[in-house]
Amino acid sequence: MDLPRSRTAPANTPDFSSRGKVIFIVSLFVVISILMESAIYLQANIFDGVRAYVRGEGLWAKAQKDAVLYLERYSYSHLESDFLAHQNSVQVTLGDRQARLALDENPPDEAAAYQGFLQGNNDPNDVGSMIWFFLNFQNVSYMRDAIAIWRSADHAIESLVATGRELRQEIVATGGRPERVAALRARLQVLNDELLQLENGFSTTLGEGARWVRAAVWTVSVAMLGVFVGIAIYVSHQIIRRIAKSERELIASESRFRSLKDSNTIGIVSWRMNGLIDEANDIFLDMIGYSRSDLTEKKIDWRKITPDEFRPRDAQAVEELALHGRCEPYEKAVTHKDGHLVPIYVGASLLDNDQEQGVAFIMDLSERKKSKEQLKLAATVFAASNDGILITDPAMRIVSANRALCGMTGYDEEELKGKTPKILQSGYTTAKQYQDMRHSLQENGHWQGDIVDRMKNGTLLPVRASISAVKDAAGQISHYVAILSDISERKAEEEQLRHLAHHDTLTGLPNRVLFNDRITQAIKHAARHRRRFAVLFFDLNDFKPVNDRYGHEVGDKLLQEVAARLSMNVRGADTVTRLGGDEFVILLDEISDRQSVDNVLKKTVDSICAPCRIDGHDITIGVSAGVSIYPDDGIDAPSLVHHADTAMYRSKKNKGRSREG
């Protein structure tokens, strides 16, 4: 037979489907990573907007309370400075209103909104986030509800401004008739209570919105990761099954080849493209009448012993070899040494990576090449995967681990072989989780979930694990394959987002959202165990002059110092909160009596009023404080906070440093 001078790649490349699946997994991973990064970036921007609005609400609430306080003080003092302070405070709330109205325009007037938010004493660095958040989320349910609450406060603010004008006219015109002034003071109290309820509603709605966004982003991220892991498990399962099958077929093929070469029934030859036969078994030599010495002396040429009439069929075989690297077995004849024709059934293939030599045999062994390529591809996937891959036998003894897993855990593959995955256990995964894992593997053949392993150096390693049982042709489990993805960064980012959502960025103290949750839990606990607790409300005196005189950087450091002093005066079970601006609240858990509360209050007030040195400046500030006791002063969070707030403002009005409640 005539053989080709060169060989081209087969038209149908072996294992293309496996390579395609691997490429698909990598592409899907890249897409999901981009989507998850985008989701985290969007979530960060949303929380930044929520944080800015919560801080702005604190400034708005502070200005509103100051407006009421100064107007009430004006009703007693008739001093023009008090009325001017009232008007300045009102301007802060009107600035936020101006910003909202500008953003409601079509198209939105962002320049006017920017000026309005600045008039509302908002940090210039927060204004951009506030405008972006309003424009993009004003129609989302939680933000829409919060804006509605904000709009409903307009009427109360207008009533507050009108009350101020009436009070001023009364004092200027008549000197302030007692019954008329008393009626206006009563109206002020009603307006103050109404605005306080709106402030709490606004903060609560924003907090619920932030929790909803976090839950939504988490759900989408887990869903995307679940899709990727599910596809990866399925494709890996198919590849591993194909590898196991190919290994068995390769071993069987090699065994058959050796048996055939040494057998007395099948002729096997090794040939060259130039016609020379290098090697042949005895049955082939006997078939054509040549001896072993003829073979050694290079006297056997397959081209010369092929009759002319069979060369067209050889040419067809050459085309098959060019396309596939092998030819289908076919009938032909060769010339015996004594001159007669010997009918034979021949098949041929080229040796791997060699265009000059091949083998001819009865059975088609082209599957051997395919098996080798499959094993090579699977080994490449196994070695190049960024995820850790661990393979065990049915007894859960480790038989192989890829480089990624060794890099993740710090173990060498040889240290892992023969051991069980218990070598990676950290103790943080419960026995119930392992029981569920074994049950799922037995019932469904796979399991996936988050666990915490331990590296060789003792460091904890949170991973997303996907485990599949691989079965052989008899349906028996031959291996377990585990794919481990390091999720340390994702866990850290989630923890950071949770912290930002519940803590003040300047002081690190719990914010209003976390405080509302803590006081709700405290009420439930106290009601269940018949205990008492206290709410201490603090408002710094003369804080604004510090900002005006030394700048906001010094003011921020002063707030951080106050937060530190507050924290030093309470127990670990108590909660210190910054509500916004210069207002702080302490939740004293499980108090014994009123005297113990007074002791903590006095110590805390003295601590805050003690001089402090910031950036070379000696600064002393005052503080007004109010107290409420559960259940004496209220049985729900708004009542307790309102009572403490009211007591604090009475203290501020009297310019005292001791508590009221």
Q: What letter represents residue 511's amino acid?
A: N
Helix, coil or strand: residue 575: strand
Q: Which residues contact 449 (CB under 8 A, 6 or more apart)?
A: 433, 437, 464, 465
Edge-to-edge strand list for the sheet holding 446-454: 398-401, 388-392, 477-486, 460-471, 446-454
Q: What letter represents residue 624's amino acid?
A: S
**pLDDT at 576 (0 to 100):** 93
Q: Which residues contact 76 (CB under 8 A, 6 or more apart)?
A: none
**pLDDT at 353 (0 to 100):** 64
DSSP string, 23-71: HHHHHHHHHHHHHHHHHHHHHHHHHHHHHHHHHHHHHHHHHHHHHHHHH
Looking at the whole model, is its pTM more than 0.75?
A: no
Report yes or no: 480 and 392 within 8 Å, Cβ to Cβ. Answer: yes
329 closest CA partner among 368, 359, 357: 359
**pLDDT at 366 (0 to 100):** 31
b (16+ CB within 10 A) / e for 338-367 = eeeeeebebbbbbeeeeeeebbbbeeebbb
Q: Within 10 Å of residue 52's Cβ, how many Cβ atoms?
A: 23
Please name the residue ranges forming H helices in 263-395.
Answer: 282-288, 292-296, 311-324, 366-384
**pLDDT at 18 (0 to 100):** 55
Q: Within 10 Å of residue 504's Cβ, how many Cβ atoms?
A: 23
**pLDDT at 362 (0 to 100):** 44
Handedness of CA 404, 405, 409, 413 (dihedral sign): negative
Crossing angle of the two packed helices 124-137 and 16-77, in degrees rounded to 10 = 120
Please name the residue ranges forming H helices in 445-585.
Answer: 488-502, 512-529, 543-550, 552-568
**pLDDT at 535 (0 to 100):** 94
Q: Both tokens of residue 389?
A: 């891959």
- Cα–Cα dist 188/179, whole Å: 14
Q: Within 10 Å of residue 190's Cβ, how many Cβ atoms?
A: 12
Helix, coil or strand: residue 585: strand
- Cα–Cα dist 316/327, whole Å: 9
- Cα–Cα dist 131/509, whole Å: 26
Q: Which residues contact 423 (CB under 8 A, 6 or more apart)?
A: 411, 416
**pLDDT at 212 (0 to 100):** 74
Report yes or no: 363 and 256 within 8 Å, Cβ to Cβ. Answer: yes
**pLDDT at 242 (0 to 100):** 75
Q: Both tokens of residue 640?
A: 């307790």
346 closest CA partner among 358, 335, 362: 362
Pick out the chain residues at pLDDT < 50: 1-16, 362-371, 656-661
- Cα–Cα dist 346/6, whole Å: 21
